Structure 1
Amino acid sequence: MRSSLHPRPARRPRPRSRTRSRLVALFTGVAAVGVLLAAGTTARAADAPLRDLAEARGKVIGTAVTGSKLTGTYGDLAGGQFNSLTPGNAMKWETVEPSRGSYDWGEADRIVAFAQAHDQQVRGHTLVWHSQNPGWLTDGSWTADQLSTLLQDHITTEVTRYKGELAAWDVVNEPFNEDGTYRTSLWYQGLGSDYIARALTWAHAADPDAKLYINDYNVEGVNAKSTALYDLVKSLKERGVPIDGVGLQAHLILGLVPSTLQQNIERFAALGVDVAVTELDIRMQLPSTDAKLAQQAADYRAVMNACVAVSRCAGVTVWGFTDSDSWIPDVFDGYGAATPYDANYVPKPAYGAIATALGGTSTPPTGDCTAAYSVANEWNTGFTGQVTISCSGAALSSWKVSWDYGAGQRITQAWNATCAQSGTTVTCSNASYNGTVPSGGSVTFGFNGTWSGSNPVPAVTLG
């Protein structure tokens, strides 16, 4: 059976390295009446994308996505930062078969095609669940045989459609109550607990190469629920039922990462199955603060470290990478800010925590950001200038701009930035209130200076 990390080489090549360094571009100046301009690409040394860091450690770093949003900045980050995608809702039963025998694969196909175009794997989610089933199914009156046939047909149809295209499936989702008893559901009531073994067997028959998982929440630490899952997996293995892994959803609350997380991963791994953190987010009570964001970063780092430490932990998937695409505010009143990027696609400290746990640094890639230097007014011995920092397909959480004056100019005053000059070199950094530059946004700061004889355009470095 192939690795859980990458699709089969016969179908798609191993993801190529996406490590990119942003080189300093030459700034060009254009003299005009009363205005001097200089602009160029950011010179900040970018860290490797998360996907490159993860692949270097043999891990998955994934995100749940919404297919219709895979364009613009959202698509750029989803494709550039992650080596695995999970459809948030596109492969659930109510989406793919809203009426009996009538299928809609549009969004699911879109996500798979995007992943293939970006050398990513796909994690199928989910085949058997107590929730998000179509009304025709939940409202029907079925005998055990009829229900079994419906389930087998659904699993076979969906898994066969994507045979060879998906690395893994969350075959059974959330089968347990908090006390470790089986959840009362359409499947448990109609087929008993053996619906789990049947579902796994049918999925394996439809695609023998896909990794098959049981996925649940509140099973991250050692507790009654995770022990029930452990006992189930052990039993399935002993019976020869195809089971390749367990998914720990990890919808966590700020400051409450289970202390037994790594121990729990290790005990499942000892059964001979893989473990994946499948739906990680860490919610906080709003509003967010610097202290809360720092705690969130520590929590993300703790989860990542636990996975990195265990060879059979396949990787970590965040349940949406940006707060604008998070389910938390709609479900948990007063809570949010649960993902590694804010709603403007600016990376939070949590992003840096993920990167450092994977062996990188906390400096996020800057993408395509530019700085434009202009002089709008000159007089006998002085001038007024400004620098505008703009981002497209990228974002900054802080910035610093520097340049060298070649004709003896001196800065005398600045606003909306903290500026200092040492010799010919000027360095300006963001104020406390304008460090964030979202994708599609800009920040401008101004200054007064002196000159004598000439006032040539300097080459500016953003970094």
Structure 2
Amino acid sequence: MRSSRTSLRAGLAALVAAVGLFAAGTGTARAADTPLRDLAAAKGKVLGTAVTGSKLTGTYGDITGTQFSAVTPGNAMKWESVEPARGSFNWTEADQIVAFAQAHDQQVRGHTLVWHSQNPGWLTDGSWTSAQLSDLLRSHIDTEVGRYKGRIAAWDVVNEPFNEDGTYRSTLWHDGLGPGYIADALTWAHAADPDADLYINDYNVEGVNAKSTALYNLVKSLKQQGVPIDGVGLQAHLILGQVPSTLQQNIQRFADLGVDVAITELDVRMQLPADSAELAQQEADFKSVVAACAAVARCVNVTVWGFTDSDSWVPGTFPGYGAATPYDEDYRPKPAYYGIAEALGGGGTTPPPTGACTAAYTVTSQWNTGFTGQVRISCSGASLSSWKVNWTYGAGQRITQAWNATCTQSGTAVSCANASYNGSVPDGGSVTFGFNASWSGTNPVPAVTLG
């Protein structure tokens, strides 16, 4: 593992996303006392998440910075994003994510340079000779990798080159340049940034099968040819209860080739609505995957493909499926979160027991002088006839307006009580209230109590 990939923030930072009132007394529903990134660092691993740059503020930004030691741009570095028109570049979101990572002592995983999908129309609709196509690809790699030289720990250089049976996928690159495009892309990326680790990344290669064996043989061949290849990315977009039994064996066989391995896009989708049994199985699945990586020295990184269900690609791609990440839509840690923590040697706080009502505070939008927030009160196995939510601001924030609740603020202390029409929260139901507030400098998420 290169030193560029091992700069991890020291110290502990507790994240409190929600605090609940339970039927049998008051308790706390929060993340583990030791952030996941610190648990991972103690195991010599990096824990990452895919992110959306525009959301890196408020609760979303706080969790990203506190819990994870690496970020992957979900879409911001793909070719259609950075060069939507030929010769016209847009680096805004990619730059934002890199700057956020630097401010939070995080690594960045560049994703992705060569792919058959999410390419700009001018490229896919063009008619190119092999020489022209090669020049376009090299220029793209030179430009993007060069721009971020020294600031990207690892690049997913080539993404999804294989079919399920282990044959090469028919793509613009393979059909126009032949299979040698993979070695060329790696060579060009290495020339543009010799210190970045270079990966080939694919899905359905987590266990030993025809596709992963084709990838294994490719990496072995590239190593024998002296092509710069540092690692293999196993995406791990998994279905509930279907973690391959040969996952650790597969990780180890790639490691034995002399390359690193990363779990690059981990999520575990389930049929909706999620129930307690599904969430328990998801916890076991996340724990199993992270534990398999932890058991192999050269498995260096586990990245979840979005940490919150509100930022997941799954519902839009697999209708009827979702709840695939470690946090729910209100940024509360799910059982899967604790599965990750346990696999990394942590204990932490367990999820709230059955029979709880909880309050979750989120920042829904933010601008230079103000922000809009929301609090959701939810009950499961319990109910409320009225409620009051309290918190203390730690950076001088001031509420200026509220709706669906009556809010008062005295100094830093805020108290919000239900409106006359929304005090009742049934078992399995929820209510929300919102507010506008001012801020300056920082806007940390407060700990919230429900009474």
Does the 8 A contact of 1:249 with 1:278 survive in 2? yes
Q: Deviations over 1:219-248 (max 9, x none)?
A: 000000000000000000000000000000
Amino acid at match of 2:204: N
d(CA) in 2 for partners of 1:43 and 1:364?
Answer: 8
Cα pair 2:164 2:211 within 8 Å, conserved: yes
Aligned residue number for residue 311 of structure 2: 325
Give RMSD over aligned pairs.
3.0
Residue aligning to 2:375 = none
In 2, Cα distance between the equivalents of 1:218 and 1:369?
A: 35
Establish whether residue 220 from structure 1 lines up as the match of residue 206 from structure 2. Answer: yes
Mapping of 1:159-174 within 5 angstroms? 159-174=145-160
2:341 and 2:347 in contact (8 A); partners too: yes
Aligned to 2:6: 6
Structure 2 unaligned blocks of 5 or more? 17-27, 353-358, 362-385, 394-424, 434-444
Give the TM-score, by structure 2 length. 0.76
Tell me the SS of whatever aligns to 1:316.
Answer: strand
Query: Normalising to structure 1: TM-score of the pair?
Result: 0.75
The secondary structure found in structure 2 opposite 1:343 is coil
Give the counterpart of 1:293 among 279, 291, 294: 279
Alpha-carbon separation, structure 1, partners of 2:9 and 2:71? 13
- Rounded to whole Å, the distance in 2 between the matches of 1:261 and 1:179 is 18
Q: Which amino acid counterpart does residue 6 of structure 2 have in structure 1?
A: H
Deviation at 1:315?
1.7
The 3 A distance-change label for structure 1 pair 5 and 225 is same
The residue matched to 1:119 in structure 2 has which SS? coil
Summarize the Cα distance change of 1:21–1:173 in structure 2 as closer, same or farther, 3 Å threshold.
closer
Question: Per the alignment, do residues 433 and 136 of structure 1 end up closer, same or farther by CA in structure 2, a change over 3 Å counting?
Answer: closer
Matches of 1:292 and 1:45 in 2, distance apart? 20
For 1:164-203, list aligned pairs within 5 A: 164-203=150-189
Per-residue deviation at 1:6? 2.6
> How far is the alpha carbon of 1:436 from its aligned partner?
11
Q: Output the CA distance in 2 between the equivalents of 1:128 and 1:154.
A: 9
Q: Which of residues 211, 225, 229 is equivalent to 1:239?
A: 225
Match of 1:361 in 2: 347
Distance in 1, matches of 2:430 and 2:272, equals 21
Summarize deviations over 1:306-334 as a string: whole Å, max 9, x none: 00000000120000000000000000010
| Number of residue pairs aligned between Structure 1 and Structure 2 | 370
Q: CA deviation at 1:361?
A: 1.2
Task: Answer yes or no: is 1:77 the counterpart of 2:63.
Answer: yes
1:124 partner letter: G
TM-aligned CA distance change 1:298 to 1:284, over 3 Å: same
Rounded to whole Å, the distance in 1 between the matches of 2:448 and 2:217 is 55
Conservation of the 8 A alpha-carbon contact between 2:270 and 2:278: yes
| Pair 1:114 & 2:105 matched | no
Q: Distance in 2 between matches of 1:271 and 1:238?
A: 10
CA contact (8 A) 1:6 1:167 kept: no
- Give the counterpart of 1:139 among 112, 125, 128: 125
Q: Structure 1 residues 337 and 43, CA, compared in 2 at 3 Å: closer, same or farther?
A: closer
Q: Which residue of 1 aligns with 2:441?
A: none
Seen in structure 2, the aligned counterparts of structure 1 residues 181 and 286 have a Cα distance that, compared at 3 Å, is same
AA aligned to 1:177 is N
Q: How does 1:81-92 map to 2 (within 5 A)?
A: 81-92=67-78
Aligned to 2:142: 156
Of residues 9, 13, 21 in structure 2, which corresponds to 1:15?
9
Contact persistence 1:200–1:241 (CA under 8 A): yes
Q: What is the CA distance between 1:364 and its match in structure 2?
A: 6.7
Q: Do the aligned partners of 2:30 and 2:349 also contact (CA within 8 Å) in 1?
A: no
1:256-289 CA-to-partner distances (Å, cap 9, x unmatched) read: 0000000000000000000000000000000100
Q: Secondary structure at the match of 1:259?
A: coil
Q: Offset of 1:17 from its aligned partner?
A: 2.1
**Percent of aligned pairs with the same residue?**
71
Aligned to 1:59: 45
Shift of 1:47: 1.5
d(CA) in 2 for partners of 1:203, 1:292:
42
Give distance in 2, aligned partners of 1:127 and 1:115: 20
Paired residues of 2:32 and 2:348 also in contact (CA < 8 A): no
Q: After the TM superposition, which residues 358-437 of structure 1 pair with which residues of structure 2 at under 5 Å, given as runs?
A: 358-363=344-349, 388-390=388-390
SS at match of 2:229: coil
- Post-superposition offset of 1:442: 6.6
Is residue 251 from structure 1 mapped to residue 237 from structure 2 by the alignment? yes
Instruction: Give the distance between the partners of 2:190 and 2:113, measured in 1 at CA.
Output: 12
Q: Name the CA shift for 1:180/1:431 in 2 (closer, same or farther; >3 Å).
A: same
Mapped contact 1:437–1:443 kept (Cα < 8 A): no
User: Which residue identity does 1:116 align to in structure 2?
Assistant: Q
Do the aligned residues in 2 keep the contact of 1:369 with 1:390 (CA within 8 Å)? no
The alpha carbon displacement at 1:353 in A equals 0.4
- Give the distance between the partners of 2:387 and 2:75, measured in 1 at CA: 44
Kindly provide the CA deviation profile for residues 164-193 of structure 1, in whole angstroms up to 9, marking residues without a partner as x: 001000000000000000000000001000
Shift of 1:4: 6.1
Provide the rounded CA distance (Å) in 2 between the counterparts of 1:220 and 1:345. Answer: 28
Task: Give the secondary-structure state (helix, strand or coil) at the position aligned to 1:196.
Answer: helix
Aligned CA distance change for structure 1 residues 142 and 244 (closer, same or farther; 3 Å): same
Q: List runs of 5+ in structure 1 lacking aligned partners.
A: 8-13, 23-41, 371-385, 394-429, 446-463
Instruction: Label 1:76 to 1:365 Cα distance change in 2 as closer, same or farther (>3 A).
Output: farther
